[in-house]
Amino acid sequence: MPGFQPRPLHPERSARDLYGAEIRRLREAAGMSLTRLAEVLQFSKAHLSRIETAESPPPPGLSEKLDAAFGTGGTFLRLYPLARLEQYPDRYRRFMDLATQAMVREGYSETVHGLLQTRAFAEVILRAGAPFASEDEIEHKVAARLKQQERLHGPNPPRYWFILDEASLRRIVGNPRLMRDQMQQLLQAGTLRHVTLQVLPFSAGAHSELGGSLTLLTLPGGSTVAYEEGSRNGLLIEKSDIVAKRRAYYDLLRAQALSPRESQAMISKALEAFDHAAQPLAEE
C-alpha cells in the first residue's frame, strides 16, 4: 500500500491557504510532526490540522505562538488579519461573493434559513453540524453567519424571498424557549417590506428539494445563478440552462407553499405552542 500522502496545499489561492502552507513548510523544515507541533503550541492537533489545510481560519492567539515556535519574527501575526477575513472555505467563496452582489435572493430550506436565525439557534445548529469542532471554531462560524445578516437589515437591501419547510417550525432545536425566540424573529422578518416569507406545509408532500436547500441569486444585469446545498457539500450552478431548471423547481415550490399571510398564521401558532412549552422552564 502507498504511504500516507498529506493533502496538497495551494498558497496561491488565498491568505488563509498561505497561512496554512507556511505552517506546514516551517513544521517540516524543523522536522516536526503535527502532533509534536500541537504539543509545543499546547493546541488541539485536530484543529491545527484543519488550519494547516485551510479548512478552518486561525483563532486569536495562535499566530503569536507560531511566531515564537518558529522564530519567524511576526510573520504569522502579520498574516493573521488577512487570513481571518476569509470566513469561508474555498468552495463557498464564489457563492458568498455573488451573494453580496445579488439584487434578489430567493431560497428554500428545510430548517430556518441562516439569514433568519437568532444567535442561539445558529449556535445549536452549527454545533450539531460540527460536533467535534472547538469552541473557537463554533464561535467563528456563528459570527460569520450573523455577519451575513447585516445586508438583510442594512440600507438598500436586496429583495428576499424565503420558503421554509414546515419542519423548521416543528423540530425543536435547543429547547422551547429558544424556539419561541426564533419564531418571534421569523414573524418580525416577515413584516419587512423587502422580505417575503412562505411556509411549505407537510401537506405539499414530496418535492424536488427534499433533503437539501436551494438558493437563486439574481445579479446586476439580470443573470441568475443557483446554489444547491446538502448537509456536507454545496454546488454552485452558473450554466443558464441548468439554472433555468432550478428556477422552475423553485417556482413550483412557491406555488405549493402557503401564502405569506397563511404562513405568518402558522408561525404564530408555532410561537404560541413554544411559548406554552417554555413556561415551565422559566419557573425552574
83 vs 16: CA distance, rounded Å: 4
State the distance between the two ends of the chain, measured CA to CA, in whole angstroms: 59
Q: By three-state DSSP, how is residue 97 classified? A: helix
| Tens-digit pLDDT profile for residues 117-149 | 999 999 999 999 888 888 888 888 898 899 899
**pLDDT tens digits in sequence order for the chain, 284 residues long:** 444 466 777 777 778 889 999 999 999 999 999 999 999 999 999 889 989 988 778 888 999 999 999 999 999 999 988 887 665 555 567 788 788 889 999 999 999 999 999 999 999 999 998 888 888 888 888 988 998 999 999 999 999 999 999 999 999 999 999 999 999 999 999 999 999 999 999 999 999 998 889 999 999 989 999 999 876 677 889 899 999 999 999 999 999 999 999 999 999 999 999 999 988 766 65
pLDDT at position 90: 54
Q: What is the DSSP track for the chain?
A: -PPP-PPP--TTS-HHHHHHHHHHHHHHHTT--HHHHHHHHT--HHHHHHHHTTSSPPPTTHHHHHHHHHT-TTHHHHHHHHHHH--S-HHHHHHHHHHHH-SEEEEEESS--GGG--HHHHHHHHHHHSTT--HHHHHHHHHHHHHHTHHHHSSS--EEEEEEETHHHHS-SS-HHHHHHHHHHHHHHHTSTTEEEEEE-GGG-S-TTTTSEEEEEEPTTS-EEEEEE-SS-EEEE--HHHHHHHHHHHHHHHHHSPPHHHHHHHHHHHHHHHHHHHHHHHH-
Which residue do the cell numbers 438583510 mark? 152
Could you state, in order of their start, the residue ranges of all structural domains in the chain? 15-85, 92-283
Candidate CATH numbers 2.60.40, 3.30.420, 3.40.1130, 3.30.870; the one for domain 92-283: 3.30.870
For residue 15, give the nearest of 45, 48, 46, 57 by alpha carbon: 57
C-alpha grid cell for residue 138? 463554533
Confirm or reject CATH 1.10.3720.10 for domain 15-85, answering yes or no.
no
Inter-CA distances, 123 with 150, 181, 193, 212, Å: 17, 14, 28, 20
Q: How far apart are CA 56 and CA 45, in angstroms?
A: 13
- Same CATH topology for 15-85 and 92-283: the answer is no
- The number of CA neighbours under 13 Å toward the Cβ of 274 is 23
